[in-house]
């Protein structure tokens, strides 16, 4: 299982035909204090690059995009109780949702960690 | 993730090159602030984080740079002419007293909200940064002798410990009461200090020559009670205090009565009229206006932001003009304009947030009790 990244600062862990999605530590630092996460319901179809969730910080509502197309299996129930997990553990317990991939070939265009680190260093 | 469908009020994208630096720009950057465009300037939105800064201000003392606001002097004899533009009693204003007032257009719409203080030799005005040029054009057109003091910085020290801190540096400021002001000397510089602010907390606003601003800010930040606070927390603090933000909760299409700011129409002016839009405003005052600014408490944790529509019985009845998560209340709150029959405390309403209907209830403002030290009060 390897972690891949998008230019919109989502991460995706792929395990077979399912994947877990969240936002990166860089993204949470840009957002500041997260107070609510509007997550997709199980069964919702999302498409690569399309809106999948909304993360509300004190200052702004920001869209979170699906790194790949698929069907949402589950959203992180812990974020309802403690949205601050997105700040404290963005790439761990603060994950957003899991989905089943509809087209594994869409993963090809995503960045690995080295490429993503170089990308944010260039911002 | 792409940030910012609804950015902080007043935060608009602009080329950094177009932004003017304010006197404390270098200090903000040394303190690690995230700088953003605001009212045409580069301003600090946050240092360590909005919630931490918000809470620090409520518990101790926060230092805000508000140098983007316009500081204007008028000759003392312009008081009667100024009354032709605002709804406050200015000729009756006593020396060292601040008055919150509203600059109006001919239809009674609010062009700006502002503070007016009578001093020994002039009238001292503080207006909003985003509209200061337009304000001054209106004043000049009315024949007022506008002296724009771009060479002064303005900072606010807010919170329950502000009085102890500032009295240490400027002995005697503790004796000022809410909405009172006086001159003080510091390190050879003349300061103008008002006991006022935009957070709902006790505190001061300090006008200082730009050349001395950084040294004064450093001296304040050297006090253990003080931390720098950005615009993000300034917005959440004023929202909890129920204080409107110009350009969002107030605009030229909104009257003082609709905005629930009728207290700013001084008694004598109500009797005499003679301010712009007086006929319409006085009619609304006595017969009611069709809509009114209210506070909304929101169920759950999903914030409703500016532009969200307000509904009752399947019909749109209003719109949110400011909203967000209230750190001191640990809940979302909003200000909205709603039809007056639905503006009573306790009225159940719904807000549409991205197609979801969330439950809200009209509540009195401020959302959180203010902690001012008023005339006649000890402390």
Residue range A55-89, pLDDT digits in tens:
999 878 899 999 999 999 999 999 999 999 999 99
For position B6, what pLDDT does the model report?
39
Distance CA B257, CA B177 (A): 28
**Annotated domain spans of chain B:** 16-67+150-239, 290-379
Please, what is the Cα angle at B348 between B347 and B349, to 5 degrees?
Answer: 115
Residues of B in contact with A23 (CB under 8 A): 1
B1 and A58 in contact by Cβ < 8 A?
A: no
Q: How many helices (H) and strands (E) does chain B have?
A: 9, 20
A62 and B8 in contact by Cβ < 8 A?
A: no
- What is the percent of chain B where pLDDT is above 70? 95
- Over the stretch B159-188, which tens digit does the pLDDT of each residue have? 999 999 999 999 999 999 999 999 999 999
Of residues A111, A90, A104, A102, the one with CA closest to residue A31? A90
Give B153's strand partners: B208
Mean pLDDT of chain B: 94
Give me the half-sphere count of Cα atoms (radius 13 Å) on the Cβ side of residue B74: 27
Instruction: Please check whether residue B325 is in contact with residue B331, taking contact to mean a CB–CB distance below 8 angstroms.
Output: yes
How far from B351 is each of A45, B298, B316, B360, CA to CA, in Å?
26, 9, 9, 7
Distance CA B43, CA B51 (A): 18
Kindly give the residue spans of alpha helices, DSSP state H, lying in chain A.
Answer: 25-31, 78-81, 85-88, 113-121
Distance CA B16, CA B293 (A): 35
Determine if residue B355 is left, alpha or beta; phi over 0 gives left, psi from -120 to 50 gives alpha, anything else beta.
left
Residue A96 structure tokens: 């957003």
Residues 6 or more apart whose Cβ sits within 8 Å of residue B222: none
Residues 6 or more apart whose Cβ sits within 8 Å of residue A92: none
Residue B174 structure tokens: 């503790």
CATH topology of domain B290-379: Elongation Factor Tu (Ef-tu); domain 3 (2.40.30)
Of residues B27, B31, B3, B29, the one with CA closest to residue B16? B29
Has residue B13 got a pLDDT over 70?
A: no
Instruction: Please check whether residue B284 is in contact with residue B250, taking contact to mean a CB–CB distance below 8 angstroms.
Output: no
Of residues B210, B205, B159, B212, the one with CA closest to residue B185? B212
Mean pLDDT of the region B137-149: 98
For position A1, what pLDDT does the model report?
59
Distance CA B134, CA B143 (A): 14
DSSP class of residue A44?
A: -
What end-to-end distance do the CA atoms of chain A give, in Å? 28
Q: State the smallest CA–CA distance between residue B252 and chain A in angstroms.
A: 25
Has residue B7 got a pLDDT over 80?
A: no
Reply yes or no: is the peptide bond before residue B366 cis, omega within 30 of 0.
yes
Distance CA B226, CA B372 (A): 19
Burial-class residue B167 by CB neighbours within 10 Å (0-12, 13-18, 19+). Answer: middle
A36 and B325 in contact by Cβ < 8 A?
A: yes
Phi, psi of B276 (to 5 degrees): -60, 135
Residues of B in contact with A54 (CB under 8 A): 354
Instruction: Please check whether residue B318 is in contact with residue B309, taking contact to mean a CB–CB distance below 8 angstroms.
Output: yes
Q: Which of residues 322-341 of B touch A (CB under 8 A)?
A: 324-325, 327, 332
Using 50, 70 and 90 to split pLDDT, how confident is the model at B246? very high
Domain B16-67+150-239 = CATH 3.30.1360.120: yes
For position B9, what pLDDT does the model report?
43
For position B376, what pLDDT does the model report?
81
Distance CA B166, CA B159 (A): 11
Mean pLDDT of the region B237-244: 97
Determine if residue B288 is left, alpha or beta; phi over 0 gives left, psi from -120 to 50 gives alpha, anything else beta.
left
For position A75, what pLDDT does the model report?
97
The CATH architecture to which A3-121 belongs is: Beta Barrel (2.40)
Please, what is the Cα angle at B7 between A52 and B318, to 5 degrees?
Answer: 90
Of residues B136, B77, B84, the one with CA closest to residue B126? B136
Lowest-pLDDT choice from B13-27, B194-208, B224-238 = B13-27
- Over the stretch B332-353, which tens digit does the pLDDT of each residue have? 999 999 999 999 999 999 999 9
DSSP class of residue B306?
A: T
pLDDT lower than 70: segments of chain A: 1
ipTM: 0.82
Q: Which of A8, A23, A33 sits opposite B51 (nearest CB)?
A: A33
What pTM, to 2 d.p., does this model score?
0.92
Using 50, 70 and 90 to split pLDDT, how confident is the model at B237? very high
B44 sits in which H/E element? strand B41-46
**Annotated domain spans of chain A:** 3-121
Residue B19 structure tokens: 């932004």
Distance CA B95, CA B264 (A): 18
Instruction: Please check whether residue B229 is in contact with residue B47, taking contact to mean a CB–CB distance below 8 angstroms.
Output: yes
B62 in contact with A, Cβ within 8 Å? no
- Over the stretch B51-74, which tens digit does the pLDDT of each residue have? 999 999 999 999 999 999 999 999
Instruction: Please check whether residue B27 is in contact with residue B299, taking contact to mean a CB–CB distance below 8 angstroms.
Output: no
Using 50, 70 and 90 to split pLDDT, how confident is the model at B5? very low
Is B16-67+150-239's fold the same as B290-379's? no
Q: Which of B54, B235, B303 sits opposite A56 (nearest CB)?
A: B303
A69 or B11, which is more confident:
A69
Using 50, 70 and 90 to split pLDDT, how confident is the model at B4? low
- Over the stretch B280-336, which tens digit does the pLDDT of each residue have? 999 999 999 999 999 999 999 999 999 999 999 999 999 999 999 999 999 999 999
Please, what is the Cα angle at B6 between B2 and B8, to 5 degrees?
Answer: 110
Has residue B3 got a pLDDT over 90?
A: no
Using 50, 70 and 90 to split pLDDT, how confident is the model at B378? low
Q: Search chain B and give the residue with CA nearest A24.
A: B1
Distance CA A63, CA B4 (A): 8
For position B76, what pLDDT does the model report?
96
A33 and B3 in contact by Cβ < 8 A?
A: no
DSSP-based three-state secondary structure for B20 = strand
């Amino acid at each position: 299982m390897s972690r891949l990244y998008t230019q919109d600062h989502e991460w995706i862990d792929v395990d077979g035909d399912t994947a877990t999605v969240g936002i990166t530590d860089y993204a949470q630092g840009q957002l500041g204090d997260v107070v609510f996460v509007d997550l997709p319901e199980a069964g919702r179809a999302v498409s690569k690059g399309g809106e999948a969730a909304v993360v509300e910080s004190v200052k702004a509502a920001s869209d979170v995009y699906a790194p790949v197309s698929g069907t949402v299996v589950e959203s992180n129930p812990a974020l309802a109780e403690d949205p601050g997990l997105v700040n404290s553990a963005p790439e761990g317990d603060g994950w957003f949702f899991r989905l089943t991939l509809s087209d594994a070939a869409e993963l090809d265009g995503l960045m690995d960690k080295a490429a993503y680190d170089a990308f944010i260093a260039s911002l | 993730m792409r940030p910012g469908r609804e950015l902080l009020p007043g935060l608009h994208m602009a080329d950094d090159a177009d932004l003017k630096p304010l006197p404390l720009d270098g200090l903000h950057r040394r303190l690690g602030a995230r700088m953003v465009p605001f009212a045409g300037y580069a301003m600090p939105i946050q240092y360590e984080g909005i919630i931490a800064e918000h809470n620090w201000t409520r518990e101790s003392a926060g230092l805000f740079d508000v140098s983007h606001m316009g500081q204007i002097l008028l000759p003392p004899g312009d008081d009667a002419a100024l009354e032709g533009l605002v709804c406050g009693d200015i000729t009756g204003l006593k020396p060292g007293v601040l008055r919150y007032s509203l600059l109006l257009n001919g239809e009674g719409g609010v062009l700006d909200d502002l503070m007016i203080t009578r001093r020994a030799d002039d009238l001292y005005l503080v207006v909003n940064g985003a509209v200061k040029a337009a304000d001054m054009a209106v004043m000049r057109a009315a024949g007022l002798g506008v002296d724009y003091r771009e060479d002064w910085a303005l900072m606010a020290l807010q919170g329950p410990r502000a009085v102890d801190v500032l009295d240490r540096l400027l002995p005697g400021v503790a004796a000022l009461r809410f909405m009172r002001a006086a001159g003080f000397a510091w390190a050879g510089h003349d300061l103008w200090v008002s006991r006022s602010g935009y957070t709902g907390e006790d505190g001061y606003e300090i006008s200082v020559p730009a050349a001395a601003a950084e040294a004064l800010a450093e001296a304040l930040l050297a006090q253990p009670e003080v931390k720098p606070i950005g615009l993000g927390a300034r917005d959440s603090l004023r929202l909890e205090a129920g204080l409107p933000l110009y350009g969002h909760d107030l605009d030229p299409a909104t009257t003082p009565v609709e905005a629930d700011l009728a207290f700013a129409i001084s008694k004598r002016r109500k009797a005499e009229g003679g301010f712009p839009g007086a006929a319409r405003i006085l009619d609304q005052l006595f017969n009611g206006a069709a809509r009114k600014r209210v506070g909304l408490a929101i169920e759950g944790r999903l914030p409703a932001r500016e532009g969200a529509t307000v509904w009752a019985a399947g019909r749109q009845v209003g719109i949110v003009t400011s909203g967000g998560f209230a750190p001191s209340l640990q809940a979302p709150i909003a200000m909205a304009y709603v039809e007056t029959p639905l503006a009573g405390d306790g009225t159940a309403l719904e807000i549409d947030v991205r197609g979801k209907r969330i439950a809200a209830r009209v509540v009195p403002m401020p959302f959180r009790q203010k902690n001012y030290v008023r005339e006649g009060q000890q402390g």
